Each structure stands twice: as C-alpha cells, then as structure tokens.
Amino acid sequence: MAAILPPAMLGILGGGQLGRMFVTAAKRMGYRVTVLDPDASAPAAEFADVHLCAAFDDADALATLARTCAAVTTEFENVNADAMRLLAKTTRVSPSGDCVAIAQDRIAEKSWVGKAGLPTAPYLAIESVEDIQVELSPYLPGILKTARLGYDGKGQVRVKTADEARAAYANLGGQACVLEKMLDLKLEVSAIVTRTSAAQVAVFPVSENIHQNGILDESIVPARIAPELAARAQQYAVQLAEALDYVGVLAVEFFVLGDDSLVVNEMAPRPHNSGHYTIDACVTNQYQQQVRAMCGLLPGKTDLLSPVVMVNLLGDVWGEDGSEPNWAVLMEAPNTHLHSYGKKHARPGRKMAHYCVLAANVDDALEQARALKDTL
Ligand code: ADP
Ligand code: MG
C-alpha cells in the first residue's frame, strides 16, 4: 500500500489528551488532522485543523471523516467498533474495528491472550447468572470486573467469598463480567508495540508502572527489572500483536509475580498513559508511531535517550475553586517537561497533566519527580 505523506488529512476518533498528543505529533510532521469528539472543549480540538463536534456514531460526521481523511485512527478504546468498520469500507482504518472490539471486552481480550499462547490471571467469564453458580474457589479472593467500559479501576469490586462475588455481580446489574483471581503482584509493567500492515514491529522500552487507587500515578523507565524479564514482556507484546494481526500502536499491561513470571493484565488498542514518557525520552514517540503505522510508514526507532520518570497529575492537585497548582518550582526544573491537557474543569481523579523528569538514572529521576510533586 502506498505511504500516506504530509500534508494529507488524518482523522482521529476521540479528542482527549491522547488525541491531543497525537495531533501535536502529526501536525509537527506536516499532516493535517480532523478530530471527531462530541465535547466542544475536547483537549485535542485546540490543535486540530478540523473539529467535528458530534457523537461518535453520527452518520454525517463519519461520512465527512471517510471522505476527507486519508487514514483514520482512534485514541480511546470505547469508540464504536462498528463505526470503525464502516469507515474501513472507504478509507484506511487502524487499528481494525475487530481489534478494538476485542480490547473493549475483557472476556474476548482474555481469550485472545490465551490464543496468543500467553498467560492471564486465573479467571471465570460470566456472561449470565448461571455462569457464576460454579465452584468459585479457584478465583478467590478475587476481583470482579465488568467486561466492558471499565477504566482507571472503575467497574471493579474486590471480593473474598463466593457469596460476596455473587452479590457484587448482582449489584453490577448482572452485566457480563470476569472474576479474576487476586494475584500477589511484585510490580506492574507495560510494553507498547507498533505494528504495521507489512508486519514490521518496534517495541518501546518497558515501563514500570505504579498505580494509586487503580489509576496510573508514576511510570519509571527503564523498569527496575532484570533485562531478561523486560525482553520477555516486549516479546509477549509482539506475540499478542501478531496473533491479532494488529496494525497500529498496542499497549500491553503486565503483572510481574513473585517468581518473576509475567501475566498479561489487559491491552489498550492505542497509545497509553504509561507511554507518555516516549515524547520526552525516546528517538520516536508513541504518537509518531501511531501516525507512521496508520500512514503505512516504517515504525521509528524506539531507543531510550535518557532514564525518565513520568508523573500523572490528577484534578486532585488543583484547588477546589479550580485554581492551578503552584507550577513555579516545576517550571524552573531544567530536566523536567510539563504536558498540560488544557482541560477546563479539574475534578478529583481526572487526568489533567503529566510531567517527565529526565536524569542520569531512574533513582535520581524518581527522587526529583517526587520532590517536585510535593511543591505543587
Ligand atoms: P483498568 O481497566 O481500570 O486499568 P485493570 O484490570 O488494569 O483495570 O486493573 C487496575 C489495577 O488494579 C491494576 O493495574 C492492578 O494494580 C490492580 N489489579 C487488577 N487486577 C488484579 C489482579 N488480578 N490481581 C492483583 N491486582 C489487580
Ligand atoms: Mg489497567
């Protein structure tokens, strides 16, 4: 397939912070970008050439995207997979609607991880109430997760007993769920792979991820794990992308267990919060990779230029009256980059900004990153 070159128009479904960083990368290369997002103040709209302010399944808006864009991608996994399949009839779409549909559904996702020959936590797929009337002890204590629409720890209930699991399932309204055994995590890591339609792949350095209340708080790169383990995580991500015949950027989250075994937690069919560090610290960043994959270009090199720590800033750091954090010290730090998403309303738990600290080693970067957070 011929490569799509600047100044072609690229389309993206979703205009959140991932879309904003995608637009920034694409524009810098000379592409033009159309964003579809129903929010008039979507973070990506500020930088886009065209903002189609409409619902994700709006027929007119989708027709405009198909007509005006040389290629279309997505920045969030809960995009309508059928809309992507529809667009694919007349324009290039990556990742495919089928891959997005798999990543949207924890049951399909886990079954594909298994098909790719990779381990998951022991889990029970619960599509209806009969499915939970079995012996649950292999999955307890566990976490009941809704199959769809969960993110940042939402739609999850921790359960100790079979009675608790059944009650939690009923409380979630009887929707499809997975009951997953609670594992003893040594740490969490992610690997982000880019795969093109010609099956070329490139994987970013593995990130070590620390969560607070189910939300990513810090990413540390290189991850503080044995190189062999990091290489295995990268290999697993490639294996999963290949099993799915995936085109685009795919993020894979892993659990590292006490015996250094790796378990696939979940995947995201797009750039990932744990890959923001690539903007400041890699030869090519994950948004440039998204552009390159959708345009049929070779993936860029993924080498790490410097150890780095990324810190997420949630609305909690903003004042109750919406006042900005005290940026003064952070802005003066010469090895630190702030990325603010331009969101008007700060709410607790809402991702508002992040910053990256680059230093000679991750211990120094982490120490500085945490000290900076205390000044905000
Ligand atoms: P989300 O879609 O909200 O990111 P995840 O399935 O990744 O949902 O779960 C969020 C976090 O909860 C994980 O990053 C991990 O810290 C914790 N967690 C999830 N599943 C398990 C499990 N089976 N065992 C231990 N911790 C888990
Ligand atoms: Mg997760």
Beta bridge partners of 11: 34, 72
Give, using CA atoms, the residue closest to atom 17 of ligand 1. 214
Spelled out in words, what is the top-level CATH class assigned to the domain 9-93? alpha beta
β-strand 248-257 against 262-268: which pairing, if any? antiparallel
Ligand number nearest CA of 155 is 1
User: When comparing pLDDT for 213 and 210, which is higher?
Assistant: 210
Domain positions in the chain: 9-93, 122-181, 185-375
Q: How far apart are CA 169 and CA 97, in angstroms?
A: 29
Which of 255, 257, 262, 267 to mutate for ligand 1's pocket (most ligand atoms within 8 Å of CB)?
Answer: 255
Instruction: Give per-residue pLDDT as tens, 82-137.
Output: 999 999 999 999 999 999 999 999 999 999 999 999 999 999 999 999 999 999 99
Q: Distances in Å between the alpha carbon of 16 and those of 45, 55, 85, 169?
A: 9, 14, 22, 31
**Is any ligand 1 atom within 6 A of the Cβ of residue 29?**
no
From the CA atom positions of the chain, what is the Rg in Å? 20
Q: What pLDDT does residue 157 have?
A: 94
Enter the DSSP assignment of 325.
P
Q: Distances in Å between the alpha carbon of 160 and those of 139, 153, 164?
A: 9, 18, 7
**Is any ligand 1 atom within 6 A of the Cβ of residue 150?**
yes
Average pLDDT, the chain: 96
- Cα of 359 vs centre of ligand 2, distance in Å, is 27
Spelled out in words, what is the top-level CATH class assigned to the domain 122-181? alpha beta
**Is any ligand 1 atom within 6 A of the Cβ of residue 38?**
no
Which of 160, 265, 312 to mutate for ligand 1's pocket (most ligand atoms within 8 Å of CB)?
Answer: 265
- Cα of 318 vs centre of ligand 2, distance in Å, is 24
Instruction: Give per-residue pLDDT as tens, 335-368.
Output: 999 999 999 999 999 999 999 999 999 999 999 9
Q: Distances in Å between the alpha carbon of 108 and those of 78, 80, 100, 130, 369?
A: 14, 16, 11, 19, 38
Which of 78, 140, 145, 156 to mutate for ligand 1's pocket (most ligand atoms within 8 Å of CB)?
Answer: 156
User: Which alpha helices (H) appear in the chain, and where do they start and end?
Assistant: 17-29, 59-68, 81-87, 97-103, 106-115, 162-171, 227-243, 277-281, 286-294, 328-332, 362-375
**Is any ligand 1 atom within 6 A of the Cβ of residue 180?**
yes
Each residue of 161-180: b (16+ CB within 10 Å) or e?
ebebbbebbeebeeebbbbb
Q: Distances in Å between the alpha carbon of 357 and those of 110, 277, 281, 287, 294?
A: 34, 9, 9, 19, 30
Is 185-375 in CATH node 1.20.1050.10? no
